[in-house]
Amino acid sequence: MYNITLVPGDGIGPEVSKAVQEIIEATGVEINWEEVEAGAGVMDEYGTPLPEEVLDSIRNNKIALKGPITTPVGSGFRSVNVAIRKKLDLYTNLRPAKTFAGSPTMFEDIDLVVVRENTEGLYAGIEHMVGDDAAESIKVITRKASERIVRAAFEYAKRENREKVTAVHKANIMKLSDGLFLEVAREVAKDYPEVEFDDRIVDNMCMQLVQYPEEYDVLVLPNLYGDVVSDLCAGLIGGLGLTPGANLGDDIAVFEAVHGSAPDIAGQNKANPIALLLSGVLMLRHLDEKEAADSIENAVAEVLAEGETLTADLGGQASTTEITEAIIDKL
């Protein structure tokens, strides 16, 4: 029996979280879900979108599954997702992007993994106004954070039998900050001679991914670039509804869907649970429940390939309940 923190989130979060719980339960893996709430819905009660009890639960259980949480644009509280990553030092954001037969995409056989630094860069949150008419954001790149994220990418490549790691940067312009990241990446690569290493400037990387995605394998990037490029990779495989995510530290792991909370369809039984479900697959592999993880991934692949029970974002008309039941039937 595993004790795992569950943060259902808001919007469609509770619906997709419930679906994932049901599917994992159908594999026979026994989990005691410790449910805690975060997001805009708890502001009135706690005065914060991220109550300390959420962090305490994750620290205690060491592992969590988190549904989508709404982040206000331009005003309001800072992202709960970013806050969890920083407060728990979850410095690695892992975003696999893999095509399935039947996915709504023109691309085939894509199998990429984005390894994104999670704690610094422009997302460090160091901002201030300069007078009334200018705003300044400070980008922070450190040797320590760069080394541990690049090393995490190489360790992942070794563990998963991946052939190549590509460091992505803009060191031709930001010669000190991105220059430091690239310098560290080259140094760390020397410790992994069995894994091929190269680097790409971020704008060129985006073009290369659209033209020649098959030439790339594991990408390691600073925070902002990782955020942008991981969504580009999601677009290659059919959208965020098929894209899982994990935030990893030295001893804590939080698995999450990377799409938004879609409040416009909340409560309507229309949401696609596959992204959070595939995040659950990553979680099961983290727990060394490989058989259950593989069975869920295979079931998802079968449902997508058949194309008979798909939610609206995947080109069908199925409900959340119907696609959940279809996946369980395949198990």
Measure the CA–CA gap between 79 and 72, rounded to whole angstroms: 8
Q: Following DSSP, what letter does each residue of 24-78 receive, concatenated? A: HHHTT--EEEEE---SGGGHHHHSSSS-HHHHHHHHHHSEEEE------SSSSSP
> Which residue, 12, 60, 51, is CA-closest to 32?
60
- Ordered alpha helix ranges (H), the chain: 13-26, 43-46, 52-61, 80-87, 143-159, 177-189, 202-211, 223-237, 274-286, 290-306, 320-330
Residue 278: phi and psi, rounded to 5, are -65, -30
> Which residue, 43, 67, 114, 92, is CA-closest to 257?
67
Which residue has 């030439």 as its token pair? 215
Measure the CA–CA gap between 319 and 265, rounded to whole angstroms: 11
Measure the CA–CA gap between 36 and 17, rounded to whole angstroms: 12
Tokens (6 digits) for 108: 């085939």
Catalytic machinery residues: 123, 170, 203, 227
Measure the CA–CA gap between 144 and 179, rounded to whole angstroms: 14
Measure the CA–CA gap between 94 and 156, rounded to whole angstroms: 10
